[in-house]
Amino acid sequence: MPEIIEPFRIKSVEPIRKTDRAERERLLAEAHWNAFLLEADDVLIDLLTDSGTSAMSAQQWGAIMVGDESYAGSRSFHRFESAVQKIFGFKHVIPTHQGRAAEKILCGLMLESGLAVPNNNHFDTTRANVEFTGAEAVDLVTEEGKDPDSLHPFKGNIDIEKLKAWLAANRGNAPFGMLTITNNAGGGQPVSMKNIRETSEAYKAAGIPFIIDACRFAENAWFIKTREPGYANKTPLEIAQEMFSYADGATMSLKKDGMGNIGGFLALNSDELAEKARSVLILTEGFPTYGGLAGRDLEALAVGLEEVLDESYLEYRIASVKYLADGLQKIGVRIVQPAGGHAVFVDGAHLYPQIPKEQFPAQALVCQLYLEGGIRGVEIGSLMFGDKSQNELVRLALPRRVYTQAHVNYIIEVFEELWAERTNVSGLRLTKEAAVLRHFTAHLEPV
Ligand code: F0G
């Protein structure tokens, strides 16, 4: 088989700045050993998130020039609406400035204290929007999904038996049910078509609408094509259309598989709910034909949604994440297996067994990655979740179409250095923390 190459050539470049070790030591100390507090210009390779960091294509930039900025009835909205409807098939498409705005509108309309929403795993903002109403966010991912070493092909699946039992025990308490594809909080793991269908049946039997968190739907479609029997000869578009045919609506952050730098939507089949959502939208986001976005954004997103389903793009995308995962595993670094769609999750506690949980082994890895190579990842462990944390992970999220294979080789080389030096690293202690979401602003220092 010939090498899977980047299926694009580069037309416009953005320089990245190399710093030396002494400079990085000063910069990290000034940032209080918290990578969120670094200036982006001081980072060489930024793997903090795949959200809003995609490179747009020449076609997307071209579409930007024809954006219609009319307040109402914009031509760009209709292009956007038909691009979304072609893939997702829902009757109503309500644009929002990003994914969490769609979540906020849906949760605000349907939830209150005493109610609950089941999901495989709620992403942080989804959980926060559910909990903000006083309702409970219930995670029902399968046992394989919780086991970092399991090689199950669909570790994002919801546990259907648990879901049915939960729905039976909570009749009347769940106004809607969700499924996140891919499952970001569970390691970017995919959900099978069978699981989507069975989830739909369970929600239907319970008489509640089924809403998909669709952020990384194209990556999920590719995993179905390559891993689930019966889908090898279907196109990613056909697979996506089938996935959403089982649902009643979706929340979407177009900053991921919309290939945009900003954008989102709430899509619904219910006329009644859509009407209520549009009324809130006017209060919080804007008129229903732009919803917090410029016409030019809507144009670029319409093109991005088409490009993200291109087979050579998806083959390259999933292969590049796997390439990083394989490189790290060869060194001996423990990762959540198999590689996810958008990121590799590295086990900081395995790399630094000498650092106790209270001294944030995964945050120590975030800091070492920066000191050694100017690379920025994000801690998903005790610093983020406190005592509730199950694992001490660092997420290395790959922005779409941004870094080349040479960049990934460099990341692997930096890990080789970290592996060789792993016994010399000590932990961190907090010197300042906020009451909520402390990882964003916390100050730390080496122990
Ligand atoms: N749902 C999932 C599964 C997500 O990963 C995100 C964002 C959202 C909803 C919210 O979308 O940012 O447009 O408001 N995830 C980003 C990340 C922030 O880094 O994983 P948003």
Q: What is the pLDDT of residues 364-379, one digit of tens each?
A: 999 999 999 999 999 9
State whether the beta carbon of 49 lies less than 6 angstroms from ligand 1: yes
- Find out whether the beta carbon of 125 lies less than 6 Å from any atom of ligand 1: yes
Residues 39-66: pLDDT tens digits?
999 999 999 999 999 999 999 999 999 9
Question: Which residue owns the Cα nearest ligand 1 atom 9?
Answer: 99
Task: Name the CATH superfamily for 21-50+310-446.
Answer: Aspartate Aminotransferase, domain 1 (3.90.1150.10)
CB of 190 closer than 6 angstroms to any ligand 1 atom: no
The CA distances from residue 44 to 16, 31, 326, 375, 407, in Å, are 6, 16, 22, 6, 10
CA of 184 to the centre of ligand 1 (A): 8
Decide: 180 and 156 in contact? Cβ < 8 Å. yes
Omega of the bond leading into 190 within 30 degrees of 0 (cis): no
Q: Which two tokens stand for residue 398?
A: 């790959």
Beta strands 393-397; 378-380: pairing state:
antiparallel
Q: What is the pLDDT of residues 413-425, one digit of tens each?
A: 999 999 999 999 9
Residue 120 CB–ligand 1 contact under 6 Å: no
- Give dist(CA 354, CA 426) in Å, integer: 8
Percent of the chain with pLDDT over 70: 100
With H, G, I as helix, E, B as strand and everything else as coil, classify residue 323.
Answer: helix
Q: Quick one: pLDDT at residue 428?
A: 97
Over residues 10-18, the mean pLDDT reads 95
| Atom 11 (ligand 1) nearest CA | 99
Assessment of whether the complete model's pTM goes beyond 0.85: yes
Mutate to test the pocket of ligand 1, among 47, 53, 98, 100 (most ligand atoms within 8 A of CB): 100
Q: Using CA atoms, how far apart are residues 398 and 216, in angstroms rounded to an integer?
A: 13
**Binding site membership of 99 for ligand 1 (Cβ less than 6 Å):** yes
User: Rounded to an integer, what distance in angstroms lies between the CA atom of residue 342 and that of residue 400?
Assistant: 8
How far apart CA 153 and CA 275 sit, in angstroms, is 39
d(CA 302, CA 305): 5
- Kindly report, residue by residue over 222-234, the tens digit of the pLDDT: 999 999 999 999 9
Q: What is the mean predicted confidence (pLDDT) over 13-38?
A: 97
| Residue 51, ligand 1, Cβ within 6 A | yes
Query: What is the rounded average pLDDT for all residues in the chain?
Result: 97
**pLDDT of 435 higher than 90:** no
Task: State which ligand 1 atom lies nearest to the alpha carbon of 49.
Answer: 19
Same fold, 21-50+310-446 and 58-307: no
- The gap from C-alpha 247 to its chain's centroid, in whole angstroms, comes to 20
pLDDT of 224 reads: 98
Distance 22 CA to ligand 1 centre (A): 34
Task: Give pLDDT, residue 185.
Answer: 87
Q: Is the pLDDT assigned to residue 30 strictly greater than 80?
A: yes
Does the beta carbon of 186 lie inside 6 Å of ligand 1? no
Q: Please tell me the predicted confidence (pLDDT) of residue 85.
A: 98
Report the distance separating Cα 444 and Cα 436, nearest Å: 16
pLDDT band at 1 (very low <50, low <70, confident <90, very high): confident
HEC per residue, 58-114: HHHHHHHHCCCCCCCCCHHHHHHHHHHHHHHCCCEEEEECCHHHHHHHHHHHHCCCC
Q: For ligand 1, what atom is nearest to the CA of residue 101?
A: 14
Q: Is the dihedral of CA 436, 440, 443, 446 positive or negative?
A: positive
Cβ of 284 below 6 Å from ligand 1: no
Arithmetic mean of pLDDT, 423-438: 92
- Summarised one tens digit per residue, pLDDT across range 315-361 is 999 999 999 999 999 999 999 999 999 999 999 999 999 999 999 99
Average pLDDT, integer, range 91-117: 98
In this prediction, residue 403 carries a pLDDT of 97
Instruction: Kindly state the average pLDDT of the residues 205-230.
Output: 98
Q: Which residues of 330-352 are buried (b: 16+ CB within 10 A; e: fewer)?
A: eeebbbbbbbbbbbbbbbbbbbb
Mean pLDDT across the stretch 104-117? 98
CA within 13 Å, CB half, 315: 12
- Rounded to the nearest whole angstrom, what is the distance from the C-alpha of residue 364 to the centroid of ligand 1? 24
The predicted model gives 82-108 an average pLDDT of 98
With a 6 A CB cut-off, is 180 part of the ligand 1 pocket?
yes
Nearest alpha-carbon partner for 179 in 222, 121, 221, 135: 121
74 pLDDT band, cuts 50/70/90, is: very high
b/e sequence 230-250, b meaning 16+ C-beta within 10 Å: ebeebebbebbbbbbebbbbb
CB-ligand 1 contact for 142 (6 Å cutoff): no
Encoded tokens for 297: 């954004």
What is residue 387's predicted lDDT score, i.e. its pLDDT?
Answer: 85
Residue to substitute in 48, 255, 439, 440 for testing ligand 1 pocket (most ligand atoms within 8 angstroms of CB): 255
Residue 389: the pLDDT is 85
What is the second-level CATH architecture of the domain 58-307?
3-Layer(aba) Sandwich (3.40)
> Tokens at residue 349, please?
């506690």
Could you tell me if the CB of 104 is within 6 A of ligand 1?
no
Q: Is the CB of 220 under 6 A from ligand 1?
A: no
Distance 386 CA to ligand 1 centre (A): 21
| Contact between residue 386 and residue 40 where contact means Cβ atoms under 8 Å apart | no
User: What does the alpha-carbon distance between residue 369 and residue 439 come to, in Å, rounded to a whole number?
Assistant: 17
Give the pLDDT score at 386. Answer: 87
Share of the chain above pLDDT 90, in %: 96
79 lines ligand 1 (CB under 6 A): no
Domain spans of the chain?
Answer: 21-50+310-446, 58-307
Peptide bond into 182 cis (omega under 30): yes
